Amino acid sequence: MAAPFSPFQINWDILAAATLSTIGAIAFNVLAFNETLENDTRTFYATAGAVCGAATTALSFKVSKNEQRVAAKSIITDEILDYELKQTYLEIVQPEQYILPPRTAPEQPKLPVAGVKESPKLNLSNPPKCPRQDSEEIVKLWDFIAFNHPEILYLLKETILLIVGENGSGKTTFAGFIALLRKLFYGMDIVVCDPHAHDNPGKWGTGINIIGSGYDYKAIENKIRDEFNARKKVIENLKEECCIWDELTNYAKYFSKDIPEKFMGYIVGDTRKRKKYSILLSHGDTLKTLCGTEGDAQMFERSVVKVMRYAERIPGEDKVPSPDATIWGLFKNEKGKPLPTPMIIEDWMNAEYLQELFPKLTDKTSPQKSSTDPKSGEPRSEMFYRINLSKSSNNNLDDEENFEDENFNNSGGEEVETSPDEGENSPNLHRNLHHLESSLYGNSTDCTHPVSEGWNFPDAFENPTPETIAAVVRCKRCRWNKAKTIKAVWGISKSGSDPRYKAVSYWFNEICSQLNY
């Protein structure tokens, strides 16, 4: 094992080399100036001189190498010299022996944060029991969420849920998903206050009471006043209600001056006792503009659970929601500050998928009169009552009298009250559709091409015509799924970013719901 580098080792080598060099010189001098020596003696002095010379040469080489090694080590450990300069020098000296270690980035110091604990991992080894036991499929969904996405169960009973994110981050989609889960598991009524609902028909699905569509901020203001004033009344047997407040940051621009304070008073008040659950949607944390007082703002911060959603940008394409999200407020540190809880929002977490799994979610038990069609201005739930099947452009229809909508009288076309047997699911309406379908497609049961040849795709944003409804009925009777039916009837492929698909998806759901398909 080689001795460590030291000046003592180098000095001893020099001393030995000098001694051997002197001995060799003496031996050669004896040979040169003493010619009377015997042959054996001369041979001895010649050999001694040669050995000393060779040893001196070897020691000189060793001393030279030791000097290089000492110099190389000092260069490697030097903190001032540039890395590239060190590498160049050592390659010239002896590259096979002196190699610099790879350059590494300096380790970033970890800044201590006082009082912050790591968020607990959500792992429900013993999940709570599903509140509904009357449906095996509902229990299966509950158990699936409990074991795979337990953070969702934490959010279902949060009184105030704030969803924040930029456009395209999926705030609306996630809010509708949480709201329908609340309806599915707890039987909550769902109300949506959305002044822009008319811009995207079908945005909230079906079976939901929408207030404020068509920029009707006055209707939303009246909703806030009613809820705020209702706190003073004693109401028994209250049913749980989930209210989604969309476009929240625009409210203050259009409301009366007293509304922001009343709104915050309603939101942060005793809503849990009154069984009111709010989902607030905002583009950013600008909610302080809605707070009437500083005390209300502080109370709001302590009460709210916030979900941060993000958008992913793809070159040349529209933004898409990121599956990554962060929940703030489920857990807090010793000082009461909210801790972040990461979560993954999967593609199936949307209202449309839940409605396909559980068609009863689209029941019209909730009021629908506030939901209006953007084209006609009529309540969407009444749209199909107003379809007059006798106005079909097809000339081969049966007697026109058979196709009159039973919801109109013969004197003025005004809508009249209908009994449960005469409404949207009445046999008469189905019979009229069957006649229209037969006149369009004949009595063939071939389901290879349920839509007739030469079919002209209707406008995605226009109310469905009788022919369009009959085409959907034809596809449904052939057991075609939703995406395939929409492609055949409207000519639009499934795409989450295509507003036309969202629009026709609403029409499809409405047709199937009205006709019990």
Strand pairing class (160-164; 189-193):
unpaired
Q: pLDDT at position 161, please?
A: 92
Q: pLDDT at position 176, please?
A: 92
The pair of structure tokens assigned to 39 is: 């042959």
Burial of 23 (0-12, 13-18, 19+ CB in 10 A): middle
CA-based radius of gyration for the chain: 42
Q: Which residues of the chain carry a pLDDT beneath 70?
A: 1-18, 20-21, 24, 27-40, 42, 45, 59-125, 201-202, 205-207, 231-238, 252, 265, 268-273, 284-300, 363-446, 448, 453, 496-497, 515-517
Nearest residue to 283 via CA among 118, 419, 165: 165
Q: SS3 for 454?
A: coil
What's the first-to-final CA gap in the chain, in angstroms? 88
For CA atoms 249, 252, 254, 258, give the dihedral sign. Answer: positive
DSSP state of 360: G
Amino acid letter for position 410: N
Give CA 462 to chain center in angstroms. 32
pLDDT tens figures, 404-453? 333 333 333 333 333 333 344 444 445 555 555 555 555 555 676 777 76
pTM recorded for the entire structure: 0.49
Separation between Cα atoms, residue 441 and residue 444, nearest integer Å: 7
Q: Is the domain covering 136-362 a CATH 1.10.3470 domain? A: no
Nearest residue to 87 via CA among 74, 76, 71: 76
For CA atoms 284, 286, 291, 297, give the dihedral sign. Answer: positive
Q: pLDDT at position 228, please?
A: 74
The neighbouring-strand residues paired with 211 are 193
Strand pairing class (305-312; 160-164):
parallel
The neighbouring-strand residues paired with 340 are 328
The pair of structure tokens assigned to 185 is: 């598991």
Query: Which distant-in-sequence residues (6+ apart) come within 8 Å of 310 by Cβ?
Result: 165, 166, 169, 321, 322, 324, 325
The pair of structure tokens assigned to 428 is: 């008469």
Q: pLDDT at position 156, please?
A: 93
Q: pLDDT at position 309, please?
A: 92
Instruction: Give the count of beta carbons closer than 10 Å to the beta carbon of residue 368.
Output: 17
154 neighbors 272 (Cβ within 8 angstroms) = no
For CA atoms 124, 130, 136, 137, give the dihedral sign. Answer: negative
pLDDT tens figures, 175-187? 999 999 999 999 9
Task: Give backbone dihedrals phi and psi of 187, rounded to 5 degrees, phi first.
Answer: 70, 25
Separation between Cα atoms, residue 428 and residue 421, nearest integer Å: 9
436 neighbors 403 (Cβ within 8 angstroms) = yes
